[in-house]
Amino acid sequence: MEAAAPRGTQDILPESAEWWQQVETAAREVARRFNFKEIRTPIFEHTEIFARGVGETTDIVEKEMYTFMDKGGRSLTLRPEGTAGVVRAYIEHKLYGASPLQKLYYIGPAFRYERPQAGRYRQHHQFGLELIGSVDPAADVEIIGLTIAFYRQFGLKDLEVRLNSIGCPSCRPRFRETLINQLTSRKAALCPTCNERLDRNPLRLLDCKNPDCQAQMQDLPKTVDFLCPECREHFDKVRRYLELKGIKYELDATLVRGLDYYTRTVFEIVYRGLGAQDAMCGGGRYDGLIETLGGPPTPGVGVGIGLERLILTLEKQKVYQPQIKPLDVFIVACGEKERDQTVGLAYRLRSYGLSVDFDFQGRGMKAQLKAADRSGATVAVIFGEEELRNEMVIVKIMQDGTQQNVPLIDIETALASIIMGQKASNMG
Ligand SMILES: [Zn+2]
Ligand SMILES: [Zn+2]
């Protein structure tokens, strides 16, 4: 048996977990400031939710889902994205009962069977936001604005918003028809995938990455030229609100996103730092999705922010370092008898709120002191034979090696004030 994680997955080891924890904390914090509430849905759903929600002819549903039959013969799928499950929960629990408006966020894994690349995994993690129940263009800008505020917390500034509007069921058919007409005459120049998709999902051709196809897409009609008056007004307002907020954006006529549920606004955010081109996140409006999945007609808008890509960028960019909280105390015992005291003291100090560790390998005092050093602890508490006889311990400040004797009886308060003093002097 080979001890290896499945292709396209990664273990998050303790050192990287520090990054993850801080990114997740920042996500919760920014969500709180914008008054979004957390929702946690299962990582698998009935396959139908994605087939109907994301769309039968999308890459995700056709090729990328982890679908399996459970022992009861039900077809289930590991969620390939977060929105469909949140919308399913919104309908199932009638979250619209009191008010249709819900501002929800989630943090968790999503699964897609695609070719693994740097920052792209078969199990990846998303910080997702959904603002359900509003057609207000300010809702679209709330989602984009929150996403930018999230990235800015890490010092990422060189962000570019790419924006498009793909219209609604009343204006998109006319665009679709025009597109099919124009592309049919160019069929021979298009890749096999585009040929296959032309009649079923022509909008997807616009973002084909094949250079030959891209050359054919240059002078095609744009979705924004076909918008109905309502979609036009909505898009103009989104743009105006972005400008009012000082959020820079570029119009991108080829941006259509790969999911069928999008209507009107679609966007991606690209980090320009590192010469990167790839989107850090993408989202848009989905005014028909709630009805498609069996709920009352309700508009919505959201974003899925990839966390692997963000963390990879932060690690490379060095604009942000995770702040690691050091261990407070490492207890060192000089012998067997003192070791018994160690265990008791560790629990005493932990219930006082300090982080505490000690030796588990039966090592001698010298090795224990070395372990204390390696642990990064702020202080070592040393049980010496003589000190113990006098109900005292030695407290050693690891940074400068200074020592003092402290009575065991008020060790908690003494340590707390020593550790606080050390932290203050490190910050100053
Ligand atoms: Zn429209
Ligand atoms: Zn193509």
Q: What is the pLDDT of residue 276?
A: 61
Report CA(227)–ligand 1 centroid distance (Å). Answer: 5
The pLDDT of residue 277 is 67
Token duo for residue 12? 């998050």
301 pLDDT more than 90 = yes
In whole angstroms, what is the distance from residue 69 CA to residue 73 CA?
5
Q: What percent of the chain has pLDDT over 70?
A: 99
The dihedrals phi and psi of 105, each to the nearest 5 degrees, come to -135, 160
- Please list all protein residues whose beta carbon sits less than 5 angstroms from ligand 1, which is an ion: 167-168, 171, 228, 231
- Specify the pLDDT at position 290: 97
For the stretch 248-293, pLDDT in tens is 999 998 898 877 889 999 999 998 876 666 789 999 999 999 999 9
| Average pLDDT for 188-217 | 87
Dist. CA 183 → ligand 2 center (Å): 11
* DSSP per position, 13-31: -HHHHHHHHHHHHHHHHHH
For residue 310, the model assigns a pLDDT of 93
204 C-alpha to ligand 1 centroid (Å): 18
Ligand 1 centroid to 423 CA: how many Å?
58
Residue pair 245/46 in contact (Cβ under 8 Å)? The answer is no
Ligand found nearest the CA of 285: 1
CB 329 within 8 A of CB 377: yes
**pLDDT digit string, tens, across residues 167-201:** 999 999 999 999 999 999 888 999 998 998 888 88
Percent pLDDT > 90 in the chain is 72
Strands 75-78 and 123-132: unpaired
For the stretch 125-169, pLDDT in tens is 999 999 999 999 999 999 999 999 999 999 988 899 999 999 999
Question: Residue 27 C-alpha to ligand 1 middle, in angstroms?
Answer: 33
Segment 32-53 mean pLDDT: 97
pLDDT digits (tens, 9 = 90+) for 333-353: 988 888 888 999 999 999 999
- What is the tens place of the pLDDT at every residue in 275-287? 666 789 999 999 9
Give the residue from 88, 178, 103 showing the smallest Cα distance to 136: 103
Q: Please tell me the distance between residue 167's alpha carbon and the centre of ligand 2 in angstroms.
A: 23
- Ligand index nearest the alpha carbon of residue 190: 2
CA of 175 to the centre of ligand 1 (A): 10
Q: Tell me the pLDDT band of 80, cut-offs 50, 70 and 90.
A: very high
Mean residue pLDDT across the chain = 93
Looking at residue 307, its pLDDT comes to 95
Give the total residue count for the chain.
Answer: 428
Using the mean position of ligand 1's atoms as its centre, give its distance from the Cα of residue 168 in Å. 4
> Does the pLDDT value for residue 63 go beyond 80?
yes
Compute, in angstroms, the gap from residue 160 CA to the centroid of ligand 2. Answer: 25
Give the β-pairing of 159-165 and 249-251.
parallel
Q: What is the pLDDT of residue 369?
A: 95
Which residues, in sequence order, are CB contacts of 425 under 8 Å at separation 6+?
Answer: none
Distance 299 CA to ligand 1 centre (A): 14
Flag whether pLDDT at 21 surpasses 90: yes
Q: What is the pLDDT of residue 116?
A: 87
CA of 266 to the centre of ligand 2 (A): 21
Mean pLDDT of 111-132: 93
Residue 428: pLDDT over 70: no
Give the chain's domains with CATH numbers: 14-171+227-317 (3.30.930.10), 329-418 (3.40.50.800)
More confident call, 16 vs 85? 85
What is the whole-number distance in angstroms between the Cα of residue 263 and the centre of ligand 1?
A: 8
Q: Which ligand is nearest to the CA of 211?
A: 2
Q: Is the pLDDT of residue 400 over 80?
A: yes
255 alpha carbon – ligand 1 mean position (Å): 17
What is the average pLDDT across 98-105?
A: 94
For residue 198, how far is its CA from the centre of ligand 2 (angstroms)? Answer: 10
State yes or no: pLDDT of 48 exceeds 90.
yes
Backbone phi, psi, residue 265, to 5°: -65, 130
The total of other beta-carbon atoms located within 10 Å of residue 379's CB is 26
Total-model pTM: 0.91
* 170 alpha carbon, closest ligand: 1
Rounded to the nearest angstrom, the distance between the alpha carbon of 388 and the centre of ligand 2 is: 78
**Is residue 138 packed enough to be buried (19+ CB in 10 Å), middle (13-18) or exposed (0-12)?**
middle
- Listed in sequence order, the residues at least 6 apart from 129 whose beta carbon sits closer than 8 Å to its beta carbon are 31, 36, 103, 104, 105, 143, 146, 147, 283, 302, 303, 305
